[in-house]
Chain A
């Protein structure tokens, strides 16, 4: 049975971008306000799940051709590597540092290495959530 999902699909196309932008906002807000890698990752997965609801698994995996298991693994690797980086400077594992930079558009901004660790968390959360949902969705 073929249903007409026109309203759902059209709204999804608009809403997904808003959700993803909100997710990115949450991710970068994490250091000073509530937010961070975990909620950011979950919100991003929510956008992807909305796509899965409106379209089907094949279409979505054609549009976003990632192997989510590898996304999770890259996230883990990134988190470990930011920790390992501290060994180069002869300080204990996971010692983080930050500094202020004058960026072209944003002006004086503090950039911290913790963000890279959080990016790792973000990738793991997206990877794991999507792997779970895709695996359950595909199994008969």
Chain B
């Protein structure tokens, strides 16, 4: 049995400059943030990031790690626009391949199935192909005259996903209400790393997951397993925890001003490891609770 447990830093040390990295989750929901923070600590650069984008894209843009972003949207959900992504686009710092969400899904499926493209209706007639002129349409080879987009395969060098549970061999369970596209990201990637709230023996996985249908990330997909409690913070990871709205607000506020952002990054991100980040988050909440107490 191959034992795949490793640290977040070990996982991201396998990522090289210029690679295409797919990030699971959705918006500000169950993002593999501990792995993203490890990427921020690493020297890697010039990444192409493929994501149903949230603060993962924003943080990587803010750290200058992103050459190109491939996305259907980038949002913090409760805060509609991602401030760092906005700044990166408005300064022209990153290239953008903006796809329709369904075309994005078709691209992941094409890569997962090793197909040269996947037909999809969404995109035709819109400015998606105008802003990405390499995109092509295909005409129905069976003669109806119907024309659809040929979604290009979103082939990933690496996929990063965060699960609720995993075993040491790389099986993982997504137990929340939406599994998003994490298994597809893994299938579309050469190599995938899964972080999880808890790593437990294979024999306990199904019972802990509560439902067989949650076990959708399989060990043939994953090269590394990282135990990362609160590893999706500050995005949500139901049923374990909701989004840390107070922290996300602090993040978005700080992002609006370079000096405040430097202080935020110093306090939370320029840390030697994930444990120090989590401790800084605990201190952030303790300080807020103190202030609320003092106000009474």
Bound pair (A, B): no
Residues on A facing B (Cβ under 8 Å): none
Residues of B within 8 A of A (CB): none
